[in-house]
Amino acid sequence: MPVLFANPLGFWALLGIPAVLLIHFLQRESRRLPVSTLFLLERIDRESVQGRTFDRLRQSLPLWLQLLGVLLLTWLLTEPRWTSARSVQRVVLVLDHSASMGAFQEELTAALRREIPPLTTLVGTTEYTLIESTLTGANLYRGTSFEDLIAALGDWTPAAGAHSAEEALRVGRSLAGAEGTLVFITDHPLTEVPFGAALLSVGSEVENVGFAGLRVLEEEGVATWRATLRNYAKSPQVRNWFLASDGRRTEARRIALAPGETRVLQGEFPDGGDKFQLVLEPDRFSRDDTLHVVRPVPKQLLVSRTGADHVEDLVAGLLTSLDHTAPSKDGETPDLVFATYNPLQPAPLPPVAVVFLNQEVVPKQFFNGPLVAANDPLVDDLNWQGLIARSTPSIPLAEGENVLLWQGERPLILLRDKGEREQLVFNFDVVSSNAPRLPAFVILVHRFLNRIRNAKVGLESLNTELRQPLRIAHDSTTAAPSLTLVTSQGRLTIAPDKTRYLRAPEEPGFFEVFQGNTPLLIASANFADTREADFTTATSFSEIGTLPAKITERRTVPDPAWQLWLMAFTAIALFCWHSQNRPTKSGWEKRRPERTEAEANVRRKIRWRVPPRRRGTEASHRGSSGERWHVPLRLTR
């Protein structure tokens, strides 16, 4: 198995080897022994008492034990660990799919090349997985090649708005496993990343100016537009902008914006044109530099009236408040009918209708009891507490009727939406009540007409946001053709039963929707998430630097005999300390020959007078083994 060292700094301990050799090269100072013999008088020559600084290296047991101890200490300090060539490391990268990441494509590639390879040097095989942070995000790459992973980033275009990446991180952790590495890559650092993910931020502050909103108004038959332009930077910015339509463009106009300033641009639609572009001088973040505008045109509703004479004024007043409606002509099938119902003379109701109770005789009694509205989108946030209605006979109720408003035990407003029926029934005399003067009554009728309009199959025009869900009425019969989404990038075919997944394009621009050859929608898609356009808090940050040590600990095995090496090093240290401090006889004392009787008789009791300059001098003597001692002389007679 390959071996690696978790602490390479431990190799500095090898400097102990030259230190030990240096100590053993140094010669110890000669030991002084007083001698009172006459045979040394001939060798009273002046010699150095210090000896040479370096002497020849003498082999000894302490020397080799000390060298072995240095090697053992180095081995322990470097923390050796063993890896297996068959080990597999899973690295899952979750990319923040928000649109702001599009400004840092180059920084993203550079950061991955810098941070990811150190995670893979400690294992035999690394499996990479690259996914997006959105719930419907694509799996961009899965394999073992880092270069292929980098190549997959070239086809990635972030386009989502601000969103939570928690679910994607949950999926990433399940793919990586408990021992794998999970990295979340973004441009705005987070305070905390769940599921044990490491954070890699590649953002930086960008001076961005872009369109932040659009509104189109119809005033006396003239369509006008209002576009909001915002400076997100902390410094003043100057930009040029112009309007382009049908291959033509206006002269560029210059606009200066203070830090954080928002300015509104407005104008009329070009003559004979229903769509155009507002183009801003491009900067690093280009998604909000172009605004695509179409003239909104809702689907036209054909309305018919078959009510009684005394409700005609009420219906006429409602129709004047309804936009994009027209009376149906002979031979045309109306989309909506304003009908009446007389409980005394019941008659079938049209399938799609707003029904008013027709009471010819005005009763004197009023309904009493509390007013209670149902939990339904048609009556949400509507206030009915001021309603005063007279007590009239009720329309026959079927089982399971959807009642929108009650007063006591009386259902006042019904919604019948079973099968092909779509009826809004007012089960009280509206004309004799104060309902026409209540805002809730008018708003309810408008909401019901919009519901009918949304269900009608027809052509409409509108402005949308990027990736906005599209609810398009279409032919849903078995033999109905598929829907086609046409953009500047290409075509997308959608089956009729899959239209609930239909969304506006991810890239700004104009688009159309067809079913077969029938146009259903003419629209534009624009970037509108101001949170993603603000780069004042974007910064670079990385938590990957601590991961290699954790991967080493998880994917490698430490030296199983490190306790044995530690005990051996301790034993060597104790032995060297004991042998260094043990009292022993010197070599001179061991090899000194015994004095003979003749030598003993030579000693005199007479003290020789030595000149002052020779007092304290030393004599040298070479022993039988070749060793030399320096001894101070004290001559006596």
pLDDT for the residue numbered 343 = 80
- Give the mean pLDDT of the chain: 83
d(CA 519, CA 376): 32
b (16+ CB within 10 A) / e for 425-436 = bbbbbbbbbebe
pLDDT tens-place string over residues 215-248: 999 887 789 999 999 999 999 999 999 999 988 9
Res. 611: pLDDT tops 50: no
pLDDT greater than 60 at residue 623: no
Q: pLDDT at residue 295 above 90?
A: yes
pLDDT above 80: residue 103 = yes
pTM of the model: 0.72
- What is the bridge-based pairing of β-strands 301-305 and 336-341? parallel
- The whole-angstrom separation of Cα 25 and Cα 58 is 8
Q: Per residue in 540-577, pLDDT tens? A: 999 998 877 676 666 666 777 777 877 887 887 777 77
Report, as an integer, the average pLDDT of 362-384. 90
Q: What is the pLDDT of residue 256?
A: 96
Token pair belonging to 102: 């599009």
Model confidence over 585-609: pLDDT tens digits? 544 444 445 555 555 555 444 444 4
Q: How high is the pLDDT of residue 364?
A: 80
pLDDT at 376 over 70: yes
**134 falls in which pLDDT band (50, 70, 90)?**
confident
In the structure, what pLDDT confidence band is assigned to residue 86 with cuts at 50, 70 and 90? Answer: low
Tokens of 324: 């994009």
Span 64-85, pLDDT tens digits? 778 888 888 888 888 887 766 5
Mean pLDDT of the region 111-132: 87
State the average pLDDT over residues 142-147: 93
Q: Three-state secondary structure along 351-420?
A: CEEEEEECCCCCCCCECCCCEEECCCCCCCCCCCCCCCCECCCCCCCCCCCEEEEEECCEEEEEEECCCC
